Amino acid sequence: DGGITQSPKYLFRKEGQNVTLSCEQNLNHDAMYWYRQDPGQGLRLIYYSQIVNDFQKGDIAEGYSVSREKKESFPLTVTSAQKNPTAFYLCASSFGQGQRRSPLHFGNGTRLTVT
Amino acid sequence: EDKVVQSPLSLVVHEGDTVTLNCSYEVTNFRSLLWYKQEKKAPTFLFMLTSSGIEKKSGRLSSILDKKELFSILNITATQTGDSAVYLCAVGTYIQGAQKLVFGQGTRLTINP
């Protein structure tokens, strides 16, 4: 079955440590996205990537970094510079070009808790 | 700044009732409006609307967009307990060929038996 796999589901870290969240898709989608979800604030875009080896900052990129070395993979690193890292992180992907781009397809998310 | 506002933020009704969820937006470069249902983890896609006044239906769910007044509604008739979820509205814009979605806060819908 095609889909997006995020791992781990739950992640606990001490303050000051970097942590990397995994996102893998086998849908052959070209674009991938990372969103953060906090209670009462909806989803906010962290980074997105349209093609391999290229990515752009979203609305809240500070304290995060990404890479896109393979089409299938778009890992997100939460660095110690991120002031409020505890949140639910969602990875998504889509295909198509311009107006014909498909709706986003989401993974099941990673819940990160930093203490 | 692009903004999407959903109302109400929370709604509790009895099974069988009809509900209307609202979404208003202010964005530059509007391309589409999408509705998602989020139960526990991944939001699942419901509707994508691009044209004003054309209702989209899927079973008991329907949605319509008004691009002049900048809002959309999601209707659910004959609600069931399985409709309990957070409903997310998102407006799609395009930046350098990539789709960017701006999300509202979500409406938490609870259906009591």
Query: Over the stretch A20-51, which tens digit does the pLDDT of each residue have?
Result: 999 999 999 999 999 999 987 789 999 999 89
- Measured between beta carbons, which residues in chain B are less than 8 angstroms from residue A4? 42
User: Looking at residue B43, what is its pLDDT?
Assistant: 93
User: Looking at residue A87, what is its pLDDT?
Assistant: 96
**Nearest CA distance, A65 vs chain B (angstrom):** 18
Tokens of B6: 């959903």
Q: What is the C-alpha R_g of chain B?
A: 14
CB contact under 8 A, A98 and B94: yes
User: Looking at residue A98, what is its pLDDT?
Assistant: 61
Counting runs of H as helices and runs of E as strands, what totals does chain A give? 0, 11
CB contact under 8 A, A40 and B88: no
* C-alpha distances in Å from residue A8, one per residue of A12, A21, A23, A43, B88: 10, 7, 9, 19, 24
- Burial grade of B62 (CB within 10 A; 0-12, 13-18, 19 or more): middle
User: Looking at residue B89, what is its pLDDT?
Assistant: 97
Is the model's pLDDT at A99 over the cut of 70?
Answer: no
Q: Report CA torsion sign: B9, B29, A48, B51.
A: positive
Return the SS3 of A41: coil
- Report whether A32 contacts A49 (CB < 8 A): yes
User: Looking at residue B62, what is its pLDDT?
Assistant: 98
User: Looking at residue A29, what is its pLDDT?
Assistant: 92
Is the model's pLDDT at B15 over the cut of 90?
Answer: yes
Is the model's pLDDT at B6 over the cut of 80?
Answer: yes
Report the range of poorest mean pLDDT among A44-53, A100-109, B102-111.
A100-109
Is the model's pLDDT at A75 over the cut of 70?
Answer: yes
Q: What is the pLDDT of residues B78-93, one digit of tens each?
A: 999 999 999 999 999 8
Looking at residue A103, what DSSP letter applies?
A: P
Tokens of A110: 């990673």
Return the SS3 of A19: strand
